[in-house]
Structure 1
Amino acid sequence: MSASPVLITGGAQRLGRHCAERLLDDGHPVIISYRRERPELDELRRRGVVTLAADFASEAGILDFIARLKAETRSLRAIVHNASDWAPDTTGDEAGTNFERLFRVHMQAPYLINLHCRELLEACSEPQRDIVHMTDYVVRKGSKKHAAYAASKAGLDNLTLSFAALYAPRIQVNAIAPALIMLNEGDDEAYAEKARAKSVMEMVPGPGVIYQSLRYLLDNRYVTGVTLPVDGGRHLR
């Protein structure tokens, strides 16, 4: 248990929400950012989670979030960069705008938060402080339909190495690279079967495997600058 909260960006749903709830179960205070209001936030607030609205699609929005975060807490035990935008590529006039938004959400926001919130991590009285970047399996292979997404996640993966070297030994910086972890509402069995077939483990594991990976990083004092693949052995297909 830590008195300093863990920050999870994009913590209102799916993997971010699951990790927030599990951290609460383990006794850690939690702060999350969220892009828009949704019913799930009420339950998180009831459990004591601090929820901060954030627009990471602009530099001004990122800096505004950082200012409000610093007004909320004097220290952080960890930062988990989970905010993400799974936007497909476009070929029209909006292509450049789409790429810029993904760059800001996946790279600029973590970059600026890491820089400006270093003091919050160093103020934590615990012996371990962490930054964890949530990247993606597609960093390894690219994507025909989500090239901008894959490129910006690859940039986030590289930031892991830079910040790990910069912040050692006081702050550990690592990444988790998931493949498909959860199905979406409306995904039919045909889609699920196709998804399972992409890995040698032949399963859609659910969000628990991500929390296990996050817990490993938060509990291990001798790991930094690494990316943990959580993909069911896709590279073996």
Structure 2
Amino acid sequence: MQKSHSAKGLIVITGAGQRVGLHCAAALQRQGYQLVVSYRKMTSGITQLQQAGVHCIAADFTRLDSMAAFIAALAPYPSIRALIHNASSWQPDLPEQQADSSLSTVNQLQQDAAVFDEMQHIHARAPYLLNRALLPKLLASGDGADIIHLTDFVASVGSSKHQAYAASKAALENLTLSLARQLAPEIKVNAIAPALLMFNEGDDDAYRQKALAKSLMAVAPGPAEVLQSILYLLQSEYVTGRVLALDGGRHLKLP
């Protein structure tokens, strides 16, 4: 762990093991920020960040003891310039049970509740708890601080197959509004809501074309789009309580 503190301050990013979180962590460090990140599973990306001097902490934010350990690991840092909540899990709803299902009603409810609870724990409860626990360090940053929530396009339109996920991201957007009201003017609180940013390696061409056709811009812009939004929010002195939509005009792609 680096002992000296960057002139630009400390940025904490949850969920930086791959994709958007990894890209943003590496880029922000190159721009002169000190980085502390969380990860749930060791990845080659975390190894790369560690080799670059980023303080990487294993944490499972569905468990309060693991969250407490993550908070304790931040004790040596006197202040936080920005707290970016990127940790996420895109878990689908379970298939609907048929009338002749062998599962009892209680078991069916337990399985559905497990999906719903995990989505809420990762996307809403963890940011809520971490924001409260780390508030003194954010207030100590001196020249203002930022909380940035990574939400999703579906938070505003819903999802037929990821209802629990969409509901949890909507809860996070509402927390954005409440915190912005509470913490201004010392701390700006905003959300970034992407639609399609990048594909997975296993996505076939038919799926890619169908996904691209959902937006007006018809591109998958990659994680740099989120990075540019983060930099904009960090540099702004006026934007708070907003959800920045990164959706390529998808909201206007009407039938």
Shift of 1:212: 0.7
User: Could you tell me which of 122, 139, 158 is aligned with 1:122?
Assistant: 139
User: Could you tell me which of 27, 38, 44 is aligned with 2:43?
Assistant: 38
Q: Is the 8 A contact 1:173 1:225 kept in 2?
A: yes
5+ long unaligned stretches in structure 1? none
Structure-2 separation of matches of 1:51 and 1:183: 25
1:36 maps to amino acid: K
Structure-2 separation of matches of 1:109 and 1:23: 23
Q: Is the 8 A contact 1:59 1:104 kept in 2?
A: no
2:82 maps to amino acid: A
User: Could you tell me which of 84, 87, 110 is aligned with 1:83?
Assistant: 87
TM-score, normalised to structure 2, is 0.89
Structure-1 separation of matches of 2:8 and 2:226: 23
Partner of 1:99: 116
Q: Deviations over 1:52-110 (max 9, x none)?
A: 111111233323322222x2422111000000010001154421111111111001110
Matched, 1:131 2:136: no
Secondary structure of 2:9's partner?
Answer: coil
Structure-2 separation of matches of 1:181 and 1:72: 35
Q: Is the 8 A contact 1:78 1:121 kept in 2?
A: yes
Structure-2 separation of matches of 1:24 and 1:106: 25
Matched, 1:210 2:226: yes
Shift of 1:2: 3.5
Secondary structure of 2:175's partner?
Answer: helix
Secondary structure of 1:18's partner?
Answer: helix
**Runs of at least 4 residues of structure 1 off by over 3 A?**
none
Structure-2 separation of matches of 1:185 and 1:66: 34
User: Could you tell me which of 149, 162, 165 is aligned with 1:146?
Assistant: 162
TM-score, normalised to structure 1, is 0.95
Q: Is the 8 A contact 2:8 2:32 kept in 1?
A: no
User: How large is the Cα RMSD of the aligned pairs?
Assistant: 1.2
Matched, 1:219 2:235: yes
Secondary structure of 1:94's partner?
Answer: helix
1:96 maps to amino acid: A
2:51 maps to amino acid: R
1:82 maps to amino acid: N
Matched, 1:74 2:51: no
- Residue identity over aligned pairs, in percent, reads 48
Structure-2 separation of matches of 1:59 and 1:94: 21
Secondary structure of 1:101's partner?
Answer: helix
Q: Is the 8 A contact 1:181 1:205 kept in 2?
A: yes
User: Could you tell me which of 24, 28, 46 is aligned with 2:29?
Assistant: 24
Structure-2 separation of matches of 1:135 and 1:178: 7
Secondary structure of 2:37's partner?
Answer: strand
Q: Is the 8 A contact 1:164 1:171 kept in 2?
A: yes
Structure-2 separation of matches of 1:182 and 1:80: 20
5+ long unaligned stretches in structure 2? 1-5, 97-107
Matched, 1:159 2:159: no
**What does residue range 184-203 of structure 1 map to in structure 2 within 5 Å?**
184-203=200-219
Secondary structure of 2:65's partner?
Answer: helix
Shift of 1:3: 4.6
The structure having more radius of gyration, on CA atoms, is: 2
Q: Is the 8 A contact 1:137 1:231 kept in 2?
A: yes
